[in-house]
Structure 1
Amino acid sequence: MKLRKVTAASAVLLALSVAATACGGDKDDKGSGGGKKITIGIKFDQPGIGQKTPKGYSGFDVEVATYVAEKLGYKEDQIEWTESKSADRETMLQRGDVDFIVASYSITPERQKSVDFAGPYLLAHQDVLVRADDTSIKSAQDLNKARLCSVTGSTSALNVKEKLAPKAQLQKYPTYSACLTGLQNKAIDALTTDDSILAGYASQSQFKGKFKLGGLKMTNENYGIGVKKGSDLKDKINKALEAMVSDGSWQKAVDKNLGPAGYKNEPAPKIGDIKS
């Protein structure tokens, strides 16, 4: 009888052990898709890059993020998108609010102190957007005679005035969309920020054919995918990015989201190759 009782007790313990192991198997493993969901930070308000619409999410960054998630083992319906505003990105990664961030996120030495970056996956440049029929702005110096849109909270126009065109007339507008309206109405002559962002705005159906990029390449902006400091996701994401380039998906995503504005992209950057 004693032997039977011990055997029965052992069976109960074994069953509990198996159940505990099974429950442990539900724990998210972001590197293999073992978890049910993966949380990705994107921009919600950048057409062509990352935008939330009534039909869902769209843009180049969204397509990059979706491809990477798939390579990590997650289907599109397993992705939880969350808005990553520029000022919140490092904090969101440090707190673990997101697994990674794809949000026109330039790799800089200062940011690398707080978070790690996979990539870069796109080399963008600060540029200007002008009206399609404008032939007066061919260099940064030409902006000395221009009314340049300055978006509240953006440093792009200020950088141009301080470093390249001190006589540029800064015109303050609340949003990039408002700048585009001003550009269309000839209230301003140029809008400046990253060329990829400008291309995204100009690719919207209501603006197609009305604007063009200046091609000035005033800075290098190395877009990376942000991850928590020390995360093993960095290497896995890098492999996914290499696959996206090699199978042609990267170029298709660029052409689809930024091409309508005549965006001439740089070749896909090599992993770890950060242009200063």
Structure 2
Amino acid sequence: MRFRHRRVAAAAALAATAVLGLPACSAVLGGEESLVDADSLVVGVKYDQPGLGLETEEGSGEYEGFDVDVALYIAGQLGIPRENVEFVGLNSAEREEKLDSGEVDMVVATYSITPARRNEVTFGGPYYVAKQDVLVRADATGIEGVRDLEDMTVCQSEGSNSVDRITEGLGVSVERREEDTYSDCIEELRAGDVDAVSTDNLILAGFFAQTPDAFRFVNNPFTDEKYGVGLPYGDIEACEAVNKAISRMYQEGDAAEMLDRWFGETDLEMVYSVPQFEGCD
């Protein structure tokens, strides 16, 4: 039985105890459940971000990219074989919802750790610290950094905080355009309907690598984007196990191999050292 089904069953048991007036601790034998007890996993990943999480063929249910590799590595360290890992494609706005509902057990989807999100999600990691950057059309001039975007139109994916980091974080006034996904933003940029797309440099590098003649990677990063592994809220045991897996992934060179596989052909300056973890409390 998949972990999410056990978690839903546990929630139902707790609800029943509330009706009966019984102590909640009697509802779930063996105490709180954790992903470390799972024998299979459903992992939420992006479906439209080349190099990170991309469905290889629409409707195939097969995904590839750095985030996918990281998820499979962590699952292996938890003792879950590849054939018992199922991937579900999602966009930025769906991550908390699908994790909270139990539709997915784990989210590895360029999921930046923020104080607000930590109120709903327990994060392992980060497994990589990206930096926000800017992508423009190849013929764009006068844009060498984020402050050059003043009064321009910048696209972000729904559920992202990218434009807020420009306007509120840096005080640069831009017009926000929001689309369902970053692949939609890239098409808006290609068509000339927006001036720039600004988000994590790993995301931008993946799109840039597909059509380098069409775009220019500004490559002048700002802010740290700590990619976390989204876990059910309160699953501290799983968080600690995930952090151990990430440490091993870097120490044994697997992380470097993954990063080079997906981004080695770009000009992106990558980090190969173990990220500083946020803590599991």
TM class by shorter chain equals 0.7 to 0.9
Q: Following TM superposition, by how much is the alpha carbon of 1:30 offset from its aligned partner in structure 2, in angstroms?
A: 4.2
Contact persistence 2:53–2:65 (CA under 8 A): yes
- Give the one of 50, 53, 69 matched to 2:53: 50
For residue 267 of structure 2, what is the aligned residue in structure 1? 262
For residues 144-180 of structure 1, the C-alpha deviation after alignment (integer angstroms, 9 at most, x for no partner) is 37x43324635534643554432x4666767533543
Q: What is the distance in 1 between the residues matched to 2:270 and 2:180? A: 28
Matches of 2:182 and 2:43 in 1, distance apart?
24
Select the structure of larger CA radius of gyration.
Answer: 1
Structure 2: distance between partners of 1:213 and 1:201: 10
Determine which of 150, 154, 159 is the counterpart of 1:149: 154
**Residues 179 and 84 of structure 1, relative CA distance in 2, 3 Å threshold:** closer
| Match runs of 1:129-168 below 5 Å | 129-132=135-138, 136-144=142-150, 147-151=152-156, 153=158, 154-157=160-163, 159-161=165-167, 163-166=170-173, 168=174
Q: Which amino acid aligns with 2:119?
A: K
| Paired-residue identity, % | 35
- Give the gaps of 5 or more residues in structure 2: 1-32
- List 4+ stretches of structure 1 deviating above 6 A: 171-174
For 1:224 and 1:122, the matched residues in 2 are separated by 8
Q: TM (normalized to structure 1)?
A: 0.74
Say whether 1:214 aligns with 2:221.
Answer: no
Corresponding residue to 1:91 among 97, 113, 116: 97
- Please state if 1:118 is matched with 2:98: no
Contact 1:48 1:197 in 2 (8 A): yes
Deviation at 1:192, TM superposition (A): 1.1
1:38 matched to 2:41? The reply is yes
1:247 to 252, 257, 273: 252
Corresponding position of 1:225: 229
- Assess, with a 3 A threshold, how the Cα gap between structure 1 residues 266 and 39 changes in structure 2: closer, same or farther: same
Confirm or deny: 8 A CA contact 1:129 1:198 kept in the other structure. Answer: yes
Q: Once the 2 structures are TM-superposed, how far is the Cα of residue 219 of structure 1 from its aligned partner?
A: 1.9
Aligned-partner Cα distance in 2 for 1:53–1:198: 19
1:81 to 72, 80, 87: 87
Classify 1:155/1:81 alpha carbon distance in 2 versus 1 (closer, same or farther; 3 Å): same
Q: Evaluate the alpha carbon distance shift between residue 40 and residue 175 of structure 1 in structure 2; reply closer, same or farther with a 3 A threshold.
A: closer
Instruction: Say whether the 8 Å CA contact 2:48–2:55 is kept in structure 1.
Output: yes
The 3-state SS of whatever aligns with 2:109 is coil
Q: In structure 1, list runs of 5 or more residues that go unmatched.
A: 1-27
Q: Is the 8 A contact 1:213 1:263 kept in 2?
A: no
Is contact 1:32–1:73 with CA below 8 Å preserved after alignment?
Answer: no
- 8 Å CA contact 1:42–1:62 kept in 2: the answer is yes
- Partner residue of 2:204? 198
- Superposition deviation, residue 80 in structure 1: 1.2
Contact 1:212 1:262 in 2 (8 A): no
* Corresponding residue SS for 2:80: coil
Equivalent pair of 1:149/1:173 in contact (CA under 8 Å): no
- DSSP 3-state at the match of 2:268: coil
What TM-score, normalized to structure 2? 0.73
Root mean square deviation of aligned Cα: 2.9
| 1:200-258 deviation digits (Å, cap 9, x = unpaired) | 21122xx0354342233232211110111222211111111111101111112112223
